[in-house]
Amino acid sequence: MIEPFEKPIYVTKPFLPKLEEFCAGLEEIWENQWLTNNGPIVKRFSQEISNYFETENVCLFTNGTLALQIGLQGMGIAGEVITTPFTFVATTHALFWNKIRPVFVDIEPDYYTLDPEKVEAAITPWTTAILAVHVFGHPCQLEALADIANRHNLKLIYDAAHAFGVRVNGESISHFGDLSMFSFHATKLYHSIEGGMLTFQEPSMKKIFNYLKNFGFENEIEVVMPGTNAKMNEMQALMGSIVLKHVDNIIDRRRLITETYFERLDGLAGIRLRPAFAKELNYNFAYMPIEIDENEFGMSRDHFYDELKKYNIFSRRYFYPLICDYACYKKNTVGDPLKVAKRVAEKILTLPIYYDLDLEDVYKICDIIEYIKQRRYKKKTFAAA
Ligand SMILES: *Cc1c(COP(=O)(O)O)cnc(C)c1O
C-alpha cells in the first residue's frame, strides 16, 4: 500500500519569487504612476530580455497567442502553412485568425517535432510558410527545415512557446528561422504572469510589430495600419524581469527532477522516455513526457491517467487530442496519414515538473507508478490462474 499525496500534485505550478521582491517593484510602479503603453519597466525588461536572447530583434506582447497572430500578419503570411497537429491549439488558432489554411503533417517519433520529409511532400503552389513547434522545448530539426524553406522560398516560423532558454551549439534557439514566438504564460517554465515575445531576423520588422500591437499608432494623430491591442503592461514586465533573474536556477532544478525521473523510470516495461538529449543541446527541461504502451504496461494511458488521480497526481495528456481532431478543425482535410502523431497522441502523458517539486515527491510519484503497474500485473496473472 502506498498512501496518496495529501495535497494534489499538478503537472505544473507557477514559479513565484519572494513577495518582498515583487513589492519593491510595485513601489517603483506607484512612483512612476505609469501602468501600460511602453512604460519604463517594459522598456527596461525589453533590454534585459534582449540581452538574455542575444538579439536586438525582440518585441514584447501581452501573451504568446497574440504575438504569434501578429507575427504571421506582419510577415504577410497567407494561403497555406505547413504545421504540426501535435501542439497546443493556439498554434493553429493563430493561423485561422489570419485566414490561413493549416496543412497538418506528421511528426518524428523521438522528440515529436515536425518531420521534415513530410513537410517537403506537402508543399503546394499556395504554401507560404512552415510553422513548426519546438514541442516540449526540444528543438525541431533546424537544419533540415531551414534547407526546405530556402529551396522553396518559404518563411520558417517557430512556435517556441516551450523553448525559453534553449541553446543549440551555444546559440540561442531564438536565432533560428525567420520568426519565433515565446510564451511567458504562468504555466510555462519562465513567465511574466501572462506575456509573449517575438524574435526575428529582419530588424525592420520591429517597427511593424510595434504598430500592430498598438492600434497602428504612429503618433497622436496618425494611424498607419489597422493594428490591435496586444501590449505588455508594467506589472507583467515587473514579474518577467524578476523571474528572469531566477531562470537559470529554475532550469537547473528542472534538470535534476528530469534526471530523477529518468533514473527511476528508464527500463520500466511499457514506459518509453525520450532518447538521450544531444551533447550540443542545452535543453530547458520544460516538460516530462512519457509514452505508455498498453500491452507492455498492462493498462491503457487513459486508465493509468485515472489511476494516478486516485493518488492525487494530476498528469496531463499533452497533446491529445490532435488539433485536427478538434471539432473546429475537423472539416479541414488532411492529406498526411499522421501515423506517428496519432500513435503518440494515444500514448503520451506528461508528468509533474516544476521548480519547487521536491525530489522526495518525485521519488514517491515513481514509487506510485511502479506500484500501479505491479498491482495491475498481479491482478492480471491472478485472473489468468
Ligand atoms: C502556451 C502556448 C501557446 C500560447 O501562449 P499564451 O502565452 O498562453 O497565449 C502557444 N503555443 C504553444 C505550443 C503553447 O504551449
Domain spanning 247-384, CATH architecture: Alpha-Beta Complex (3.90)
Share of the chain above pLDDT 90, in %: 96
pLDDT band at 383 (very low <50, low <70, confident <90, very high): low
Facing residues of 9 across strands?
313
Residue-wise pLDDT tens digits, 205-251: 999 999 999 999 999 999 999 999 999 999 999 999 999 999 999 99
Nearest alpha carbon to residue 57 among 166, 163, 159, 202: 202
In angstroms, what is the span from residue 275 Cα to ligand 1's centroid?
25
Cell 496473472 appears where? 381
User: What does the pLDDT read at residue 376?
Assistant: 72
Residue-wise pLDDT tens digits, 166-211: 999 999 999 999 999 999 999 999 999 999 999 999 999 999 999 9
Taking the C-alpha atoms of residue 137 and residue 233, their distance in angstroms, rounded to an integer, is: 26
C-alpha cell read off for 246? 531566477
Secondary structure (DSSP) of 251-313 = HHHHHHHHHHHHHHHTT-TTEEPPPPPPTTEE------EEEE-HHHHSS-HHHHHHHHHHTTE
Q: Are 218 and 110 in contact (CB under 8 A)?
A: no
In angstroms, what is the span from residue 13 Cα to ligand 1's centroid?
16
| 19-243 CATH | 3.40.640.10
Taking the C-alpha atoms of residue 206 and residue 192, their distance in angstroms, rounded to an integer, is: 21
Q: Is 91 in the pocket of ligand 1 (CB under 6 A)?
A: yes
Q: Is 133 in the pocket of ligand 1 (CB under 6 A)?
A: yes
Which helix (H) or strand (E) element contains residue 135?
Answer: none
In angstroms, what is the span from residue 161 Cα to ligand 1's centroid?
5
pTM: 0.97
Q: Per-residue pLDDT for 375 more than 90?
A: no
Q: Are 64 and 185 in contact (CB under 8 A)?
A: yes
Cell 500592430 appears where? 212
Q: Per-residue pLDDT for 154 more than 70?
A: yes
Q: Per-residue pLDDT for 263 more than 60?
A: yes
Taking the C-alpha atoms of residue 99 and residue 97, their distance in angstroms, rounded to an integer, is: 5
Query: Looking at the chain, which residues constitute the CATH 3.90.1150.10 domain(s)?
Result: 247-384
In angstroms, what is the span from residue 88 Cα to ligand 1's centroid?
7
Residue type, 60: L
Q: What is the mean pLDDT of the chain?
A: 97
Q: What is the SS3 assignment for 332?
A: coil
